[in-house]
Amino acid sequence: MTAKKNMTSKKKIFWFEDDKHLLEAHFKKLQKKYEVIIGAHWELIKKTRQQAFDLVLLDIMIHKFSFDVKNQKEVENIEFQDVHWSNIGVEFLKRIRKGEYETYGFNKNVPVVAATARVDYSTREAVENIGVSDFLVKPFTIDKLKISIEKVLNTSKK
C-alpha cells in the first residue's frame, strides 16, 4: 500500500473543541491514525467539503476563544445568538441532527462522541436525547479517547 493511498483511507474526524491543553496533548497522536480537523469557529465549520466526516468529537462547553493547533494561535469561536457558551456544543449537535450542516460534511446521522467536564445528569441527558454514540468525562486519557473512537466507528459500520 502506498503512503498516498494510506492517507486517503484515514477516517475523517471533526473535533469541536476549545481546550488548548487537551488539543496539544492528543491532536498529534490522533493524526497518526485519523484525519482530524479541529475547530469551533465558522471558517472551519462552514467550509464546503467533498467528503463527509466519519465522526464528530463534541465538546459541550465552548468559550469565546479556541486554540488553533496548526497555527498556534487563539481564534474567535462561532457564536450562536442567545445560546449560553455552556450549551454551544448541544446547539451545534442539534443543528447537525436537523441537517443544517450537511453541505459542510456533517451528515445528520454522523456518530458523535460528546465530551465535557460538566457531568451533571441534565447535561448528559440532553446530549443523549439528541443522539450521541458515547460520552467522555474530561479530563480523559488518549487511550480512553481512542477506545471510544474505535468503539463508535466499529458500531457505525454495522
pLDDT tens for 19-54 read 888 888 898 899 999 999 888 877 778 888 889 999
Q: Which domain holds residue 46?
A: 3-157
H or E element that contains 153: helix 142-157
Q: State the pLDDT at residue 2.
A: 45
Q: State the pLDDT at residue 5.
A: 45
H or E element that contains 5: helix 3-8
Q: What total number of domains does the chain contain?
A: 1
Residue written as grid cell 462522541: 113
Q: State the pLDDT at residue 6.
A: 47
- Per-residue pLDDT, averaged over 135-146, amounts to 92
Q: State the pLDDT at residue 154.
A: 93
Q: Enumerate the β-bridge partners of residue 137.
A: 116
Contact criterion met (CB below 8 Å) for 78 and 64? no
Q: State the pLDDT at residue 8.
A: 57
Q: Residue 75 belongs to a domain with what CATH number?
A: 3.40.50.2300
User: To the nearest whole number, what is the mean pLDDT of the chain?
Assistant: 84
Per residue in 80-112, pLDDT tens?
Answer: 777 887 888 888 999 999 999 999 999 999 999
